Structure 1
Amino acid sequence: MRRDRLSRRTVLALTGACSFATVGVGQLAGETGDDEQPDEDDGVSRDTFVIREGTDQATTVYVTTAEADGPTVVVLGGIHGNEVAGYVAAGEIADWTIDAGTLVTIPEANAVAIERGTRTDDDGIDLNRQFPESSEPRTDLASAIWDVLSEFDADVVVDLHESIGIYAGDPIDGVGQAIFHSDGDAVAETADSAGTYATKHYVDDMDLAFKTGSFSGPTTEPSGLLVHKAARDLGADSYLVETLSRSPDLETRVQWHLAITERLLADDVFVDDPENGDVPEQPVDDDPGEEVPDDDDDPVETDPGDDDDGETGVSPSAEIRTDPPNADELSLESGQTVTLDATCSTVTDGEIVSYDWQLNGDETVDETGDTIDVTIGANGDHSILLRVTDEEGATDTAQITLSAE
């Protein structure tokens, strides 16, 4: 049964959500320790173990198991270290009480990036590009995270992120305030319900209303996203949640993540709710009338990279290749020149008539042309956005982040 509001515990604990307990139980995923005991207060069993133990990537996995049978849900935060609300919310979710099934939570998936406060780790690697479909993950950390999902045989996966801009039908400004989902009518309906519900109950400004869209196809960049692999290799119902990282305060953004996640999981691990808040006597009205913009005419386009992991390619489809190859996964040197090639961008009908490049993290077009050279002028992360336009005026964007040290 879906709930009418966030649990009392969830709301009241927000002020302390920025600190997590450090627990280290070197236990294999899926195994239960002999000393694991149900929590006397909530009737669930709780366990923890550490992945990448003994390295700077070490992070804790939290496992909550209810007495009643049900699906296994995996919730992650902190894949990108500069998307704070996602990993703070995941830390709260690790303490949730469930009524059925198993809840596995990895609050700080990318501990190094979180420590740095950046999207990438010390080597400039974007963790959310390291999960290729139908093949092994590309890094040790990605492999460890994937092992958790595989060993627990995740039925549902929720990955919490943030974006520097709002998704509004064209991801050039960002993909925030959106829920992206795997294929299937039921999955789409659940995402739509969660977005509508969060907007109706927790969003005051309708410019920040949540929208939804399906994942991009296997051949559409960006590739290597965890939720894509979970959906296509494990068959899990998968969701990528994006909130706006600018302007709203952290507590508000965390609340959005919590509200959406509870709503996404309500029919899976919350059968009844005597402790987590009041169950509505009547079904929640999922139709806020004219308050929530209709996004039927706003197909979700290709992800803008640093604004995170947006979905569903449309015509045209923007793509960036680099020389040296995969420059966005390398640690570059200040002063190094990288060639950016957009000739791999495609269009279903007609042709692409313009290639516009934004190099300074704002809306100004700095270069045009299907191929350009950029020179890294300073250490740090440098976001580059490509916008392509076809003969009909349709656009698509792609974005990469080049990192120099």
Structure 2
Amino acid sequence: MRRRTILAAGSALAGTVAAGFVSQPSGDHRLLTAAREPGDAGEANTNTERLLPGTVHETRLHEIDAPRDGPTAMVFGGIHGDERNGIAVAREITEWHPDAGTLVVVPETDRVAVENDEREGVDGNLNRHFPADREPVSELARGIWDAVETHDPDVVLDLHRSLGIYDFHRQYVGQAVFHSPDAHGDALADALDDDSVPWYLPFHRFTARETDLSGPLLFQKAARELEASTYLFETTEFLLDQPTRNEMTRLAAARVLELHGLLETGGDA
């Protein structure tokens, strides 16, 4: 029997498809969402540190080391402070137990923006502060990048939320997986479609888009300068309620860790 798997009924993914109505995926399919309990190899070692201590930006970084060697993955929530699904799920991930490697999580990357429930913090949009070929442009971005360089991740996952649908609402990019050239973007999008998108929401199927590494986003800089496999995950508020967005985000995180060998997951109940 596979260890460290928790299965959630597909009915947990509730999509609001009309005002005042909540619809649920049909059928009895179940979704693998997270690995939360220690496995046969024993307990993971955990450590928490403060980034940018003594400043307005001070925030927590959590490191979970599995008993077996493996890759290092970093997960970021709260780069935009009003994108609550990424923050909530990143907080949950601090209690996950990888089967192999090291899991590093920053749930509230821009803590001021998170506390104010606003997209931007005191220095503006943090996810535009990581330009190519020079150091990050704000104190917070430099502190975050120092932590990234210290942990030298093999995998980076940045969790976000949009307001619309990719290629449907011109200004929004929801239901999309942006990824570096060597990442498993198509496999992740396919898994999310199979496990989380009901048939009656065809516009909500996930799009995988390979990113241009010249941009100023954190996941682009990690791919460009550290040669990490990187992902920026976007779910949407459009016709989806908060529990649904959280569930899609949770599943995306678990799938990324599975695809890169940190989690052993399976469909057996």
Instruction: Output the TM-score relative to the length of structure 1.
Output: 0.55
Residue aligning to 1:207: 203
Q: Work out the CA distance in 2 between the residues paired with 1:143 and 1:172.
A: 32
Residue aligning to 1:54: 54
Contact 1:100 1:268 in 2 (8 A): no
Q: After superposition, what is the alpha-carbon deviation per residue over 1:304-323, rounded to whole angstroms, capped at 9, x for unaligned?
A: xxxxxxxxxxxxxxxxxxxx
Q: After superposition, what is the alpha-carbon deviation per residue over 1:212-257, rounded to whole angstroms, capped at 9, x for unaligned?
A: 1011252xxxx31101100001100000000102431111101101
Residue aligning to 2:257: 265
What does 1:147-158 correspond to in 2, within 5 Å? 147-158=146-157
* Matching of residue 110 in structure 1 with residue 110 in structure 2: yes
Residue aligning to 1:183: 181
* Matching of residue 196 in structure 1 with residue 194 in structure 2: no
The letter of the residue matching 1:91 is R
* Matching of residue 43 in structure 1 with residue 35 in structure 2: no
Q: After superposition, what is the alpha-carbon deviation per residue over 1:325-359, rounded to whole angstroms, capped at 9, x for unaligned?
A: xxxxxxxxxxxxxxxxxxxxxxxxxxxxxxxxxxx
Residue aligning to 1:378: none
The letter of the residue matching 1:131 is F
What does 1:210-289 correspond to in 2, within 5 Å? 210-218=206-214, 223-270=215-262, 272-273=264-265, 279-280=266-267
Q: Work out the CA distance in 2 between the residues paired with 1:253 and 1:94.
A: 19
The letter of the residue matching 2:179 is H
SS in 2 for 1:70: coil
Contact 2:185 2:210 in 1 (8 A): no
Residue aligning to 2:120: 120
- Displacement, 1:269? 3.8
**Root-mean-square deviation over aligned CA pairs:** 2.6
* Matching of residue 138 in structure 1 with residue 134 in structure 2: no
Contact 2:39 2:99 in 1 (8 A): no
Q: Work out the CA distance in 2 between the residues paired with 1:132 and 1:10.
A: 42
SS in 2 for 1:104: strand
The letter of the residue matching 1:167 is Y
Q: Work out the CA distance in 1 between the residues paired with 2:100 and 2:169.
A: 37
The letter of the residue matching 1:47 is N
Q: Work out the CA distance in 1 between the residues paired with 2:263 and 2:120.
A: 38
Contact 2:163 2:236 in 1 (8 A): yes
The letter of the residue matching 1:135 is R
Count of equivalent residues:
237
Q: Which runs of 4+ in 1 moved over 4 A?
A: 8-11, 39-42
Unaligned runs of 5+ in 1: 15-38, 274-278, 282-405
Q: Work out the CA distance in 2 between the residues paired with 1:200 and 1:267.
A: 15
Contact 1:164 1:246 in 2 (8 A): yes
Greater helix fraction, Structure 1 or Structure 2: 2
- Displacement, 1:261? 1.5
Q: Work out the CA distance in 2 between the residues paired with 1:181 and 1:194.
A: 10
The letter of the residue matching 1:202 is S
- Displacement, 1:267? 3.4
